[in-house]
Amino acid sequence: MPLMFNTILTEGGLPIEKVRLLRHRDQRAAKGLKPYELWRDDRQRFEQYQSHQDFGNHTKLNHPFWASFVGTPNNETLFVGIYSVRYKGVLEKDIPASHSHELLEAGSCDIYELSLLKEFADLDGKLYIDWGLGTRSWIQRADNQNKPITEIRTEFKEPDFPGYLQFVSQLSKLEPPATWLDHRLKIITWCVSAYLPQN
């Protein structure tokens, strides 16, 4: 029998009916600013992204706790923290959007005050769940959706580079994990040198 995510919530003292599960994977995000990348590279910016939400989601989101997840480059669902939540109101002034190179205009979204719960911090970036097929349904109720835990790792680790022979992509579409950058530079160098005339 698999370990379930609600067991983690209950053992941590949270009433599951007050917890909303959020899986962030924003297709509108600019290159390098997807929720997974924000969380990995700049947690403060990720939390700013998460704290600004569309008006249409107010009823679903206005609850005391959010269990936050991000979709990984491998399309897994990675746990990144549990937050206590307080609704603050409507955005009062223009600010740069965390996930794009645009502005969030005053009056365009709700703002939530988020506080990361330290009791669950040892699982951040290590726990993976099976979100199920409904990835478009990115806000779910914990009491209605008890997610199976698929893996708990000892430390956060990005996917390994698959190797030169297995990796196929257009260079313009590459958004590799930071740990792949050295390999990408070698590929680019090899491609350029292969087509340069030899002296």
**Confidence class of residue 55 from pLDDT cuts 50, 70 and 90?**
very high
Per this entry, what is the length of the chain?
199
| pLDDT for residue 53 | 93
Per-residue pLDDT reduced to its tens digit, 11-31 = 999 999 999 999 998 877 778
pLDDT at 101 over 80: no
Residue 198 has pLDDT above 90, yes or no: no
| Environment class of 129 (CB within 10 Å of its CB; exposed 0-12, middle 13-18, buried 19+) | buried
Q: Give pLDDT tens digits for 116-141.
A: 999 999 999 999 999 998 777 899 99
Lowest mean pLDDT among 10-19, 114-123, 142-151, 153-162: 153-162
Sign, CA torsion 173/179/180/182: positive
